[in-house]
Structure 1
């Protein structure tokens, strides 16, 4: 493999296209070497089989990146909580949270998710068009769900927009500013933990506090950082994908009409849209080989980092027939929620939120259309509209 590193990431912030550089990388043998804005060079996995291997093989470590000059998109270099852990530490923390996100628990939450979605559309209809799909619907829906699940007061929900933006920013903040914002979030959550400790409730935070205080299964720092991870990861990607999915469907009117005629297809449409939309601006979390590992026809030496381009892997022509076509009903083989031990903990919750969001938007707003120019997020780990004016 050529060890000459090329600048990365490839995708532009404006739009949802998959950059042609990924196609070029997939056409080459082995993997290409990339240089992110900060940290050491890394190999880039762009093909489906490569991605599955790197994400699923436990000889690749995320914890190793904590002590290394890990390749990254921002200056600040901090541990990513549970994402920066390997088993068994990762397994211990994941097990504590996983019971809140089981398929059964999510189905119990679905009526509440639908109620949130319906109420938000009620408010948009009452105010009249145009509305901002992001501010008026896509953001408040998952924020309301995750805050209720965790036990965050409704009055405090707006504060998480800035904290989440800061934590997912790849530019605009110095390392000191980034650390200060993260410190504010941790201080807030630490205070909320104390309130829940004094008056336990039927929510995830109280359950985690019980695991901390009664079973001594996690430290106070781990408790706060777990809550932060659940809050941020629990809403930002879904808040981005709702307008992303709507944009893609508006660009495929025949698919939009198909969903309105066959509501039962919405779950499989969500799966295909997860595959089709390259959400990330680039690879996010470096994984270090703890020994020599063969990835397809490439050999990664011990100590070398690999980044995984999930969006490119989901559009790999060697695995998906006509990968650039939107086809509902494909077998569920995408890795939009990751793979392996770090597979998205909230995948079932995200699926339910995306399904209910599409359902209410498609059927309550039959004339749904763009009503102005989309303003895109910039310098963020995830891509999507910052504002998206719509009418109906």
Structure 2
């Protein structure tokens, strides 16, 4: 077991030099010091974990807590705050509270329930592509397809009026941008939380069974366990995570397919391979690289390094998903790989609830987009594209395409 001396450490997060690869420093850390200390923009020090086996072990160890109320929890963004009435959400809970809360909602995201949504998702994708094809050739794919599809899907799933999508997307963008000033971040948080508070209040007054929030209200009443603040917190988590992550994967995935025509040909020739392609794209980009931070509540050894109680730990998912010990030629996009043991959706008890939905949306979008617009191509150089290097969820601000 190794203890690291109190010496100068690297600043984190680090900057990508290639839009298709994690920062180069991650490779060096993974090879030379797979559990390394860094300094965060908040002034805190934390450990970063870069190897897949260590990440998977870390995410299943109860000595590492997800509770962001812990003053030592590693915060990437300065100025983050919590309102007293914002109840802990699933991603911030530990056992046994987490297990109970997850069981109450996990039935909403089963493969069977997601399959039932498939025709409606297909309809939404077709409608958006119809709108693209109705005009002259050319569009910003982010605005035309990537954002509307998951936004419409999550709105219908939760029972959120889609007419409000500009409101919540604008505020989500501020929350996910690392450089948003603290006062603007707080205002965006308050406005979005107040909006969802009013939405849940409306569901409580007239609950229906055709959306998730309405069903949760009815379930709570049947159990005599009404929890308004808990539903607001759940709605916040699902709304933000349910559209932003998938939207960015649609944009990045489309770009990768256009830049790798040999891989695109695989799914064009055999759509049964698209799910394999989706898994590889998820591994390749790992857009939520630091979504699974923890704080040690006991001393713990990770990768041969002693992490003391009270120290923060950050998983670098995109470094772990490029680990050559787990994936052969990890920097190559390879739809033949068949590797489903990536950690793009996290791992363990906190693994992403909506992963089945995300996979289905991506599969439908890629199959439909390239079948209906086979001549799709970039309308700008990759070097000129505006990537979200300033965001906690990686993606593209715009993706100009033509056909």
**1:145-169 Cα deviation digits (max 9, x unpaired):** 0000011123222222112112212
Equivalent runs, 1:212-231 vs 2, <5 Å: 212-217=220-225, 219-231=227-239
Post-superposition Cα deviations, 1:183-241, rounded to whole Å, max 9, x if no partner, equal 11121112112222222222101122224444244632111111111101111000001
Verify: 1:182 aligned to 2:186, yes or no: no
Match of 1:385 among 364, 371, 396: 396
Q: Secondary structure at the residue paired with 1:375?
A: coil
Cα pair distance change 1:14/1:322, threshold 3 Å: closer
- Taking a change above 3 Å as real, the CA distance of residues 240 and 30 of structure 1, as seen in their structure-2 partners, is closer
**2:10–2:37 contact (8 Å) kept in structure 1:** yes
Counterpart position of 1:120:
128
Is the contact between residue 241 and residue 384 of structure 1 (CA under 8 Å) also seen in structure 2?
A: yes
User: 1:49: which partner in 2?
Assistant: 53
- 2:329 matched to 1:326? no
Matched ranges for 1:269-348 at <5 A: 269-280=277-288, 282-329=289-336, 330-348=338-356
Residue 144 of structure 1 corresponds to 152
Does residue 208 (structure 1) correspond to residue 216 (structure 2)? The answer is yes
Gaps of 5+ in 1: none
Q: Kindly state the Cα deviation for residue 321 of structure 1 after the two structures are TM-superposed.
A: 1.0
Counterpart of 1:76 in structure 2 is 79
Once the 2 structures are TM-superposed, how far is the Cα of residue 179 of structure 1 from its aligned partner? Answer: 2.0
Deviates more, 1:370-379 or 1:196-205: 370-379
* SS of match in other structure, 1:33: strand
Aligned to 1:20: 24
The alignment partner of 2:201 has SS state of: helix
The CA deviation at 1:14 is 7.4
Residue 47 of structure 1 contacts residue 313 of structure 1 at CA under 8 Å; is this kept in 2? yes
Say if 2:158 is the partner of 1:158: no
- In 2, the alpha carbon distance for the partners of 1:56 and 1:118 equals 40
1:336 and 1:299, CA in 2 relative to 1: closer, same or farther beyond 3 A?
same
Partner of 1:104: 112
1:58 CA drift (Å): 1.7
Q: TM-score, normalised to structure 2's length?
A: 0.92
Say whether the 8 Å CA contact 1:25–1:31 is kept in structure 2.
yes
The alignment partner of 1:353 has SS state of helix
Q: Secondary structure at the match of 1:238?
A: helix
**SS of the residue 2:323 aligns to:** coil
Q: 2:33 & 2:139 partners in 1: Cα distance?
A: 48
C-alpha distance in 1 between matches for 2:339 and 2:234: 33
Q: Please, which of 4, 11, 15 is the counterpart of residue 11 of structure 1?
A: 15
Report which stretch shifted further, 266-275 or 191-200: 191-200
Q: 2:95 aligns with which of 80, 83, 87?
A: 87
Q: Bigger shift: 157-166 or 128-137? A: 157-166
With normalisation by structure 1, the TM-score equals: 0.94
Change (3 A) 1:135 1:343: same
**Count of residue pairs brought into register by the alignment:** 389
Deviation at 1:339, TM superposition (A): 0.2
Match of 1:59 in 2: 63
Residues 285 and 336 of structure 1, relative CA distance in 2, 3 Å threshold: closer
Closer/same/farther in 2, CA of residues 200 and 220 from structure 1, 3 Å limit: closer
Shift of the 78–212 alpha-carbon distance from structure 1 to 2, 3 Å rule, reads farther
Question: Over residues 37-60 of structure 1, what are the superposed CA-to-partner deviations in whole Å (9 max), with x where a residue is unaligned?
Answer: 115201110011111111121221
Cα distance between partner residues in 1 of 2:33 and 2:142: 41
CA contact (8 A) 1:234 1:346 kept: yes
Change (3 A) 1:179 1:92: farther
Structure 1 pair 227/13, CA: closer, same or farther in 2 (3 Å)? farther
How far did 1:244 drift? 0.5
Shift of residue 93 of structure 1? 1.9
Unaligned 5+ runs, structure 2? 83-87
- Over 3 Å counting, the alpha-carbon distance change for 1:124 and 1:354 in structure 2 is same
